Amino acid sequence: MHIQFAELPVFDQDRAKAFYTDHFACQVIADQPIGEGGWRWIELALPDAVTNLHFVRRADEAPGVEPVLVLVDGDVETTIAALKARGVEIITEPQQAPWQPGRTVAEFRDSEGNRMVLASR
Protein backbone atom coordinates (compact mmCIF):
# COMPACT_ATOMS: atom_id res chain seq x y z
CA MET A 1 0.00 0.00 0.00
CA HIS A 2 1.14 3.57 -0.65
CA ILE A 3 -0.22 7.11 -0.90
CA GLN A 4 -1.10 7.96 -4.51
CA PHE A 5 -0.79 11.75 -4.24
CA ALA A 6 -0.34 14.63 -1.83
CA GLU A 7 -2.54 17.67 -2.40
CA LEU A 8 -0.67 20.94 -2.86
CA PRO A 9 -2.66 24.21 -2.71
CA VAL A 10 -1.92 26.54 -5.65
CA PHE A 11 -3.24 29.77 -7.19
CA ASP A 12 -1.85 29.38 -10.69
CA GLN A 13 -1.69 25.81 -11.97
CA ASP A 14 0.57 26.62 -14.92
CA ARG A 15 3.06 28.52 -12.73
CA ALA A 16 3.10 25.68 -10.16
CA LYS A 17 3.49 23.04 -12.89
CA ALA A 18 6.45 24.96 -14.35
CA PHE A 19 8.02 25.37 -10.88
CA TYR A 20 7.99 21.65 -10.11
CA THR A 21 8.92 20.44 -13.59
CA ASP A 22 11.77 22.99 -13.88
CA HIS A 23 13.21 22.78 -10.36
CA PHE A 24 12.53 19.16 -9.43
CA ALA A 25 12.32 17.37 -12.79
CA CYS A 26 8.74 16.28 -12.15
CA GLN A 27 6.97 14.39 -14.91
CA VAL A 28 3.40 15.37 -15.79
CA ILE A 29 1.20 12.32 -15.17
CA ALA A 30 -2.12 14.07 -15.87
CA ASP A 31 -3.28 17.48 -17.05
CA GLN A 32 -6.98 17.34 -17.89
CA PRO A 33 -9.88 19.80 -17.51
CA ILE A 34 -12.24 19.10 -14.61
CA GLY A 35 -15.48 20.91 -13.85
CA GLU A 36 -16.20 24.51 -14.72
CA GLY A 37 -13.98 27.55 -14.51
CA GLY A 38 -10.91 26.24 -16.29
CA TRP A 39 -9.52 24.26 -13.35
CA ARG A 40 -7.56 21.15 -14.34
CA TRP A 41 -6.59 17.87 -12.74
CA ILE A 42 -2.80 18.12 -12.69
CA GLU A 43 -0.75 15.33 -11.19
CA LEU A 44 3.07 15.33 -11.18
CA ALA A 45 5.52 12.55 -10.41
CA LEU A 46 8.74 13.32 -8.58
CA PRO A 47 11.72 11.27 -9.80
CA ASP A 48 12.03 7.96 -7.91
CA ALA A 49 8.95 8.67 -5.75
CA VAL A 50 5.80 6.62 -5.31
CA THR A 51 3.61 9.51 -4.12
CA ASN A 52 2.70 12.14 -6.73
CA LEU A 53 1.75 15.82 -6.32
CA HIS A 54 -1.79 16.94 -7.13
CA PHE A 55 -2.78 20.63 -7.29
CA VAL A 56 -5.89 21.86 -5.46
CA ARG A 57 -7.29 25.39 -5.52
CA ARG A 58 -5.75 27.53 -2.80
CA ALA A 59 -8.27 29.19 -0.46
CA ASP A 60 -6.46 32.52 0.05
CA GLU A 61 -3.36 34.43 -0.91
CA ALA A 62 -1.59 34.35 2.46
CA PRO A 63 1.77 32.54 2.31
CA GLY A 64 1.80 29.24 4.15
CA VAL A 65 3.01 29.51 7.75
CA GLU A 66 3.67 25.83 8.38
CA PRO A 67 5.44 23.43 6.00
CA VAL A 68 3.08 21.67 3.60
CA LEU A 69 5.37 18.81 2.53
CA VAL A 70 8.76 17.33 3.31
CA LEU A 71 10.73 16.43 0.19
CA VAL A 72 13.59 13.97 0.73
CA ASP A 73 16.76 14.58 -1.27
CA GLY A 74 20.22 13.03 -1.44
CA ASP A 75 22.06 16.39 -1.44
CA VAL A 76 20.15 19.14 0.37
CA GLU A 77 23.01 21.67 0.17
CA THR A 78 23.39 21.38 -3.62
CA THR A 79 19.63 21.47 -4.24
CA ILE A 80 19.15 24.54 -2.02
CA ALA A 81 22.09 26.29 -3.74
CA ALA A 82 20.52 25.56 -7.15
CA LEU A 83 17.11 26.82 -6.02
CA LYS A 84 18.67 29.98 -4.58
CA ALA A 85 20.62 30.61 -7.80
CA ARG A 86 17.33 30.46 -9.72
CA GLY A 87 15.64 33.01 -7.45
CA VAL A 88 13.64 30.68 -5.19
CA GLU A 89 13.00 32.10 -1.71
CA ILE A 90 15.03 30.15 0.85
CA ILE A 91 13.52 30.36 4.35
CA THR A 92 16.20 28.41 6.23
CA GLU A 93 19.61 27.37 4.98
CA PRO A 94 20.70 23.72 5.31
CA GLN A 95 21.25 22.79 8.94
CA GLN A 96 21.09 19.77 11.22
CA ALA A 97 17.53 18.78 12.08
CA PRO A 98 16.98 19.47 15.78
CA TRP A 99 14.68 16.42 16.02
CA GLN A 100 17.04 14.00 14.24
CA PRO A 101 20.82 14.36 14.60
CA GLY A 102 22.67 13.57 11.37
CA ARG A 103 19.78 14.66 9.14
CA THR A 104 20.08 17.90 7.16
CA VAL A 105 17.03 20.10 6.55
CA ALA A 106 16.29 23.40 4.83
CA GLU A 107 13.10 25.27 3.94
CA PHE A 108 11.97 27.17 0.86
CA ARG A 109 8.80 28.65 -0.65
CA ASP A 110 7.44 27.34 -3.91
CA SER A 111 5.90 29.53 -6.61
CA GLU A 112 2.54 29.49 -4.78
CA GLY A 113 3.77 30.58 -1.34
CA ASN A 114 3.79 27.07 0.14
CA ARG A 115 6.43 26.51 2.80
CA MET A 116 8.33 23.33 1.96
CA VAL A 117 10.99 21.32 3.80
CA LEU A 118 13.88 19.69 1.96
CA ALA A 119 15.46 16.94 4.07
CA SER A 120 18.29 14.47 3.64
CA ARG A 121 17.61 10.75 3.70
Biggest distance spanned by C-alpha atoms of the chain: 48
- Specify the pLDDT at position 74: 92
- Specify the pLDDT at position 36: 80
Q: 78 by DSSP, 3-state: which?
A: helix
Element spanning 33, H or E: strand 27-33
- Specify the pLDDT at position 114: 94
Q: Residue 49 CB: number of other CB atoms within 10 A?
A: 15
Residues of the chain with pLDDT under 70: none
Domains identified in the chain and CATH numbers: 5-120 (3.10.180.10)
CA 68 – CA 64 distance, rounded (Å): 8
In angstroms, the Cα distances linking 94 to 86, 91, 100, 117 are 17, 10, 14, 10
